[in-house]
Each structure stands twice: as C-alpha cells, then as structure tokens.
Amino acid sequence: MTKEIAGMQFSDVSAEEYRIYTFPGGEKIRVDTPQYLNVSKSGGHRIIVSENSTVYIPAGWLSVQWVNRPGTGPLQF
C-alpha cells in the first residue's frame, strides 16, 4: 500500500519492527517502528515513524536489514 505525502509516494512498511542501516566504517543506525518509506532519486530514505516524526537516512549505506513483527512474512512490500 502506498500513501502520498507532500507530493511524494511512501510505501507502507508498518509490518517492520525495526530496520538497521550499516554505513562504511561500521556505523549502524537503527530505526524502530517504521511506518512509511520514501526512496529519493539519490537513494536516501525518508522514514515516517509516527505522525510527527520522520527519519532521513542519506544514500551511502552498505546494507539495510529489517525485522518484521511476529506473524508477518519476511517481505511485505
């Protein structure tokens, strides 16, 4: 399911419990309870985590791992 916000398309990722981005040098950023995801043309990720909170992950990460909530399949997109 997708949602348009401010002219951008966001995919529903609410089945995820959290996601972890790994950057060069080993830095990791964990995003808990992501709700919607927009991938920009540059590869950055805009993640809505609640009605009033958004996280931006810049392009350049090496990997992303996500763990879905119990009772959901491994891929929900």
- The tens digit of pLDDT for each residue in 39-55 reads 999 999 999 998 889 99
Question: Residue 34 has what pLDDT?
Answer: 96
pTM over 0.85: yes
**Cα–Cα distance measured from residue 16 to residue 75, given in angstroms and rounded to the nearest whole number:** 9
The H-assigned helical ranges of 1-77 are none
What percentage of the chain exceeds 90 in pLDDT? 78
- The token pair at 12 is 């529903």
The β-bridge partners of 29 are: 21
